[in-house]
Amino acid sequence: MKTLIQAVQTALEGSDTLSYIRDRDIFISPTENYIPKLSKEHAIGIVPGRRRRSEKMGGVLDVKAEVKVILWMSLLQEDAAIVGTSREKGLLDFSDDVDSVLDENKLGLPGIEDAFCREFSEPVVFGSKKEHGRFLVRLTLTYEYEMEVER
């Protein structure tokens, strides 16, 4: 799992599609609700998810590993945060950009047979202007990586 989440981070940081996000705003996170204080208007958290294993013949395990990719944005105007403006990408554009990098991307890791986004969550609003000076909106993309590994 460690290698997988680091490979997801590397793929996102190296993407030209996401050049509007600073590398330090793409981070491995302990939970879906964590965002570093210094993050700019767009940030991406990478959270290890569940792993399901089943044993096959010959000492091989079939593993399905989840990686949750958490998209954070400042909520300045409700509609613009979701659909964007002529100058800024909204949450839907942001999620499409991330998915264009990760969908079907086996990340150059041996044994990965499939990689896809199983679920796009609904947007959730966090924070308070009084406490943080802004509201944040979060969207979770759940990727599933299917692989075979030696026992």
Q: Which residues pair with 9 in a beta bridge?
A: none
Report the candidate in 11, 4, 3, 1 with the shortest Cα–Cα distance to residue 102.
11
- pLDDT at position 78 over 80: no
Residue 87's domain spans which residues? 2-150
- pLDDT at position 127 over 80: no
- pLDDT at position 128 over 70: no
Cα–Cα distance between 2 and 53 in angstroms, integer? 16
- pLDDT at position 106 over 80: yes
CATH number of 85's domain? 3.30.2000.10
pLDDT attached to residue 38 = 63
The predicted-structure confidence for 15-65, as pLDDT tens digits, reads as follows 999 999 999 999 999 999 888 776 777 899 999 999 999 988 888 889 999
Helix (H, G, I), strand (E, B) or coil at 103: coil
Number of structural domains (the chain) is 1
Q: Is the pTM of this model over 0.75?
A: yes
Cα–Cα distance between 45 and 140 in angstroms, integer? 9
Residue burial 111-139, b: 16+ Cβ < 10 Å; e: rest: ebeebebeeeeebeeebeeeeeeebbbbb
Helix (H, G, I), strand (E, B) or coil at 58: coil
Comparing 74 with 103, which gets the higher pLDDT?
A: 103
- pLDDT at position 133 over 80: no
